[in-house]
Amino acid sequence: MTIQNDKMAQPYQQINLLALFEYVERRQDAFKVFHKNDTSLAFKQQLTTEMRRLIEAYFNNLFQEATQSDQIELSITADYLAGASLVLVFKWIEDGLVYSPRYMAKMLYQLVQMPNMAFNVAGFFVEA
């Protein structure tokens, strides 16, 4: 895989995690309705699809020359990151937004940098 280092052109949109959590906090009543309503599955799927699209655009920009095997890994990674991010957002809502948006943004940022975390959870999983 070749990593693109052209910082001048940025054909992807970055996610400001603090802005994301602040947005959810401001519109928590609407998010609670979507979360508990029968339409919540469609709503969550739309959010996940959009988040996945943004992550894939980032990957496509970052990795210019990806083999088919790399593309499969990137696709699975995009699915994981999109799903995990939104599960965390909805869990935060479910728990009553007990933590600040800044704290949640920091935690999500740390989670996507898993190898740098202070504790190792890989032992929980068994590789097939």
Crossing angle between the packed helical segments 28-36 and 40-62, to the nearest 10 degrees: 110
More confident residue, 104 or 33: 104
Distance CA 8, CA 63 (A): 16
Q: Which residue carries 């919540």 as its tokens?
A: 40
Secondary structure of 31-79 in HEC code, one letter for each residue: HHHHHHCCCHHHHHHHHHHHHHHHHHHHHHHHEEECCHHHHHHHHHHHH
Beta strands in 72-127, from DSSP E residues, in sequence order: none
Is the predicted pLDDT of residue 19 greater than 70, yes or no? yes
Higher pLDDT, 64 or 109: 109
Lowest mean pLDDT among 9-13, 26-30, 118-122: 118-122
pLDDT for the residue numbered 98: 95
The tens digit of pLDDT for each residue in 95-114 reads 999 999 999 999 999 888 86
